[in-house]
Amino acid sequence: MKDLKLEPVSAEALPSLLADIKPILEAKEMDVDALDVRVSPLTWYDDYNFYILQDHEQTRHMLYKPGDAELLNWTNEVIYRVNDKAPIRLDRKNVIPYAKFFFHYVRGQLGRFIIVEKPEEVAWLDNATPEEMQKVNDRLMPVTYKGIGRDNRYLLTASVVFKNALFKTNIRVAPDGLMELTDEELLLEDLNVPIDPPPPLDF
């Protein structure tokens, strides 16, 4: 995810981190001795950071603070659990980055909502035509902050790809991080874009 500021974990911090998470990674058959570990802070948590862990065969994503590691599994359950524990602290400045993070790392059994703001963020199949691409490009918009509703939820508006269609949708974000898409407007359908398969149930 391009908005994250990922950096290698320092040599001083790495041994204690690996010792802390080794049982969890070994349960997923990761080679702890061959890990490349990168970290990024997340502005909506005080103590948890985001990690990418990669060995020769696997890539895993993790929310972690010393003493507590949660591997992401493409469901919203892990993120919501950390939101409750952390706890999450949303404000006008970080609610959009949080929404982008959430939809990037959550993929439901029915499909994935992909926020697209710029033409280069749309993944196209080889048979997509220039005319089709231009129609999509003309309808893309940046994620826009619209304020806080009477229900005390943040309101965002975004363009998203779901399966092979482009939508304009509102995103309502509760103070505890709970997400809801509402007022979806179909903009274009039958697009020549790849459709992500549902995540494996045993991931």
Residue 45 has pLDDT above 70, yes or no: yes
Domain edge (last residue) among 27, 51, 85: 85
* 128 and 49 within one domain: no
**Structure confidence by residue, pLDDT tens digits, 114-147:** 999 999 999 999 999 999 999 999 999 999 999 9
Q: Classify residue 195: in a domain, yes or no.
A: no
Domain edge (last residue) among 51, 85, 119: 85
- State the pLDDT confidence band at 201, using cuts at 50, 70 and 90: low
* 101 and 81 within one domain: no
* 68 and 145 within one domain: no
Domain edge (last residue) among 85, 108, 136: 85
Q: Classify residue 198: in a domain, yes or no.
A: no
Do strands 165-173 and 49-54 pair parallel, antiparallel, or not at all (unpaired)? unpaired
Q: Domain limits at 166?
A: 95-188
- State the pLDDT confidence band at 157, using cuts at 50, 70 and 90: very high
* 100 and 22 within one domain: no
Residues sharing a CB contact under 8 Å with residue 32, sequence separation 6 or more, in sequence order: 18, 22, 25, 26, 55
Mean pLDDT of the chain: 95
Between CA 120 and CA 106 the distance in angstroms is 21
Q: What is the pLDDT of residue 198?
A: 77
